[in-house]
Structure 1
Amino acid sequence: MSDAPEVPKEPVVTPVRVVIALCLLAPFVAMLWVGSYAKVDPAFIGIPFFYWYQMLWVLVSTVLTVIAYKLWQLDQRGRKPQGGGASE
């Protein structure tokens, strides 16, 4: 047995994790800032701006979530401990 106490791993803020957070935060900020899109013009194929802007964010949110997921996978792959042996 080891006498050294286990040190809990602290969360690490890396540039990749900051980008992930921004990708996930952007849709919330865009949708909660209603004053920026609470208008009728410019209309797109007869649809008021208020509606098509929100529908556009559905697509943008999907893309940003996929980017965040792929970045998270890369970040986790990079954090796996190197070497396959068990330490004693």
Structure 2
Amino acid sequence: MVTPVRVVIALCLLAPFVAMLWVGSYAKTDPAYIGIPFFYWYQMLWVLVSTGLTMTAYTLWRRDQRARRTRSGGGAQ
């Protein structure tokens, strides 16, 4: 069943892949940040962003699963 929450979860998990596979968007050296070429700091930034998005997706997934169990009367497992 596709719900808005599951769409948000999918987008959170898909965004880092799209960002890293779209090499043309970051295959350059400028703008440099404290002497680090854009190519490197962009990828390192996505490590942090990916962590946040994965945590968000996991939290939403747990909330969605709890709500489904409550609606179906499954109780705690």
CA RMSD of aligned residues (A): 1.1
For residues 48 and 41 of structure 2, the distance between their equivalents in structure 1, rounded to whole angstroms, comes to 11
Q: Which runs of 5+ in 1 are unaligned?
A: 1-11
Choose the corresponding residue for 1:76, options 62, 65, 74.
Answer: 65
Distance 1:40 1:77, change over 3 A: same
For residues 74 and 15 of structure 2, the distance between their equivalents in structure 1, rounded to whole angstroms, comes to 38
TM-score, normalisation: structure 1? 0.80
More helix by share: 2
- Offset at residue 83 of structure 1 (A): 6.5
- Offset at residue 82 of structure 1 (A): 2.0
1:32 aligns with 2:21: yes
For 1:68, give the aligned amino acid: A
Alignment of 1:5-16 (within 5 A): 12-16=1-5
1:52 aligns with 2:63: no
For 2:7, give the aligned amino acid: V
* 1:4-34 deviation line (CA, Å, top 9, x unaligned): xxxxxxxx00000000000000000000000
Regions of 4+ moved over 4 Å: none
Q: Which runs of 5+ in 2 are unaligned?
A: none
- Offset at residue 74 of structure 1 (A): 0.5
SS in 2 for 1:30: helix
